[in-house]
């Protein structure tokens, strides 16, 4: 029935071979480039560096609400789409229309591209309606399911016989094929296409985060390199306004943000400052520096930040959280989320000792300053199979129907089916049955489950499937992540209220 775990091992082998063939990623020495290695504290005001965005927001105040979509490949994309559906549903899209900025990394960028592509393809509706409303969501998911084999291992293997530039373009094409509308390059969504919609407050500002490939001695914060409808760059290397920049495809920015295998997929962007070094910035996956997409929101002074963390973390070590803390320390800021700090001490994992819940809240504040007015509120959602959810799944498994006919439920449930046919199955129960069916097979029945004990990078259990897997061949695999994101997104909504 399922063949994805061994495919993940095949992909890993192919990747190592391709990296060997194509060589290493160029790196920048920030000290030589004149980038400061010790960064002063930056206050939370929207300063001149974000002047264009401040004008776009048409307000003198900092943005109120920001949404951060983490890296994690196609797994993160499906989980984030499910979570965004929950946020959209629970007040008929009203909260969604209050979001000021959506910042994404890697797989979170796939989900962002999917969302904004639908906005452009069906203009005139409220933000999120074309992608997430009940009228359109079922059809959108069926189209997504038909194309969710985004990057099968056979395609990776074929790249051995092509140049790196071909591989880079093929990766972007597959992102557009799966999450866009399979358009020719010349017809794809440009970041500049969103500028007018952002200015009219029809859509939030999209920020796509990448990383400047730099030496290990370089500071962490300057490595983050942003793409948005108003500018490229960052606070340390400077910004280039879009008026003077080339027309830039959103799919290309997302492909750079998801360039996890840097030697194969890195891209270069010209140094517009016309200085002798470097001539071009080598850009790779945003997760190589900060995998949550939160840094871009924090630097804009967004007052309330909602983080969706779908990073691969079988032992729930919260590596992306720690990575963000290091970045913020360079800026003189302190991130503290009490529950996460306590969970890290306990040592939870995705098998025997599940997380007690998926939501945690905390603050970001200047170091040595306890003034609450200068703090940012953070609501953190961690993709996880929690104890509470597993107990509910056990109840369903022990019921008369158990997990029978889950694929028929998939066709009949209103969450996925936009037809007028009434469904007798509640959305929550459908989601739990979908999660239970797939997780039971993968975590308990699969003959491939032992691979995670042998090869760390191939750890493959629900929901912590390896990011190496960029292909969801079966509807139950895709729907399990959508369902998990949906149920846990509803928990996120409870924190908002």
- Please give the pLDDT value at position 418: 46
Question: What is the Cα–Cα distance from 261 to 259, expressed in whole angstroms?
Answer: 6
- Please give the pLDDT value at position 122: 82
- Please give the pLDDT value at position 370: 64
Residue 339 CB contacts under 8 Å (≥ 6 apart), including other chains: 357, 360, 361, 362
- Please give the pLDDT value at position 220: 82
Under 8 Å between Cβ of 62 and 45 = yes
- Please give the pLDDT value at position 33: 81
Under 8 Å between Cβ of 227 and 190 = no
Question: What is the Cα–Cα distance from 108 to 103, expressed in whole angstroms?
Answer: 8
Question: What is the Cα–Cα distance from 474 to 459, expressed in whole angstroms?
Answer: 19
pLDDT per residue as tens, the chain (497 positions): 344 445 555 555 555 555 445 457 888 888 888 886 655 545 444 455 566 676 666 666 678 999 999 999 999 999 999 999 999 998 888 999 999 999 999 999 999 999 999 999 887 789 999 999 999 998 999 889 888 888 777 787 787 788 889 999 999 999 999 999 877 888 899 998 898 888 888 999 999 999 999 887 777 888 999 999 988 888 888 888 776 666 899 999 999 999 988 888 999 998 887 676 888 999 999 999 999 999 999 988 899 999 999 999 888 999 999 999 999 998 889 999 999 999 999 888 776 778 899 999 999 998 877 666 678 999 999 999 898 888 888 887 776 565 555 555 555 555 555 444 435 567 888 888 889 888 887 877 665 555 555 555 556 778 988 877 777 766 678 889 999 999 999 988 777 76
Question: What is the Cα–Cα distance from 45 to 278, expressed in whole angstroms?
Answer: 30
The residue ranges of DSSP E strands in 217-332, in sequence order, are 224-227, 231-234, 238-241, 267-270, 280-285, 304-309
- Please give the pLDDT value at position 60: 60
Do β-strands 267-270 and 280-285 pair in parallel, antiparallel, or remain unpaired? antiparallel
Cis bond upstream, residue 92 (ω within 30):
no
- Please give the pLDDT value at position 1: 36
Q: Reduced to 3 states, what is the DSSP secondary structure of residue 177?
A: helix
Q: Reduced to 3 states, what is the DSSP secondary structure of residue 117?
A: helix
Question: What is the Cα–Cα distance from 153 to 215, expressed in whole angstroms?
Answer: 31
| Cα distances (Å, whole numbers) of residue 320 to 219, 333, 348, 362, 425 | 17, 16, 16, 15, 37
Residue 229 CB contacts under 8 Å (≥ 6 apart), including other chains: 56, 191, 192, 194, 195, 198, 205, 206, 242
């Amino acid at each position: 029935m399922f063949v994805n775990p061994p495919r993940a091992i095949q992909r890993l082998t192919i990747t190592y071979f391709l990296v060997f063939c194509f060589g290493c990623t160029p790196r920048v020495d920030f000290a030589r480039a004149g980038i400061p290695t010790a960064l002063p504290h930056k206050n939370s005001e929207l300063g001149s560096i974000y002047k264009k965005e401040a004008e776009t927001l048409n307000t003198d105040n900092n943005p109120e609400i920001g949404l951060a979509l983490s890296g994690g490949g196609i797994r993160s994309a499906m989980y984030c789409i499910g979570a965004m559906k929950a946020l959209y549903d629970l007040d008929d899209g009203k909260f969604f229309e209050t979001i000021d900025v959506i910042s994404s990394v890697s797989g979170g960028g796939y989900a962002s591209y999917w969302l904004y592509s639908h906005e452009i393809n069906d203009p005139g509706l409220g933000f999120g309606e074309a992608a997430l409303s009940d009228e359109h969501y079922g059809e959108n998911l069926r189209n997504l399911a038909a194309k969710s084999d985004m990057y099968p291992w056979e395609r990776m293997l074929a790249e051995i016989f092509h140049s790196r530039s071909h591989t880079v373009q093929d990766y972007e094409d597959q992102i557009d094929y799966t999450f866009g509308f399979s358009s020719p390059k010349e017809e794809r969504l440009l970041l500049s296409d969103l500028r007018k919609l952002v200015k009219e407050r029809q859509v939030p500002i999209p920020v796509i985060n990448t990383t400047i490939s730099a030496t290990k001695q370089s500071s962490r914060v300057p490595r983050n390199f942003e793409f948005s409808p108003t500018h490229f760059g960052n606070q340390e290397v400077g910004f280039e306004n879009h008026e003077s920049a080339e027309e830039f495809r959103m799919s290309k920015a997302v492909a750079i943000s998801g360039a996890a295998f840097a030697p194969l997929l890195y891209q270069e962007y010209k140094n517009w400052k016309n200085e002798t070094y470097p001539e071009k910035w080598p850009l790779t996956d945003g997760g190589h520096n900060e995998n949550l997409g939160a840094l871009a929101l924090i630097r804009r002074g967004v007052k309330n930040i909602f983080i969706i963390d779908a990073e691969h973390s079988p032992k729930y070590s919260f590596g992306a959280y720690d990575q963000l803390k290091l970045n913020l320390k360079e800026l003189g800021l302190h991130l503290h989320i009490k529950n996460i700090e306590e969970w890290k001490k306990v040592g939870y994992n995705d098998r025997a000792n599940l997380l007690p819940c998926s939501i945690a809240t905390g603050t970001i504040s200047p170091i040595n300053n306890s003034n609450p007015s200068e703090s940012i509120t953070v609501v953190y959602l961690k993709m996880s199979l929690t104890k509470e959810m597993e107990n509910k799944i056990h109840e369903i498994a022990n019921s008369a129907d158990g997990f029978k006919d889950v694929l028929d439920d998939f066709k009949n449930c209103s969450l996925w089916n936009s037809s007028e046919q009434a469904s007798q199955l509640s959305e929550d129960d459908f989601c739990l049955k979908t999660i239970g069916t797939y997780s039971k097979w993968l975590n308990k029945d699969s003959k491939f489950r032992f691979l995670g004990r042998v090869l760390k990078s191939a750890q493959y259990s629900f929901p912590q499937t390896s990011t190496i897997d960029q292909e969801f061949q079966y509807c139950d695999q895709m729907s399990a992540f959508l369902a998990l994101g949906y149920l846990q997104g509803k928990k996120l909504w409870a924190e908002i209220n």
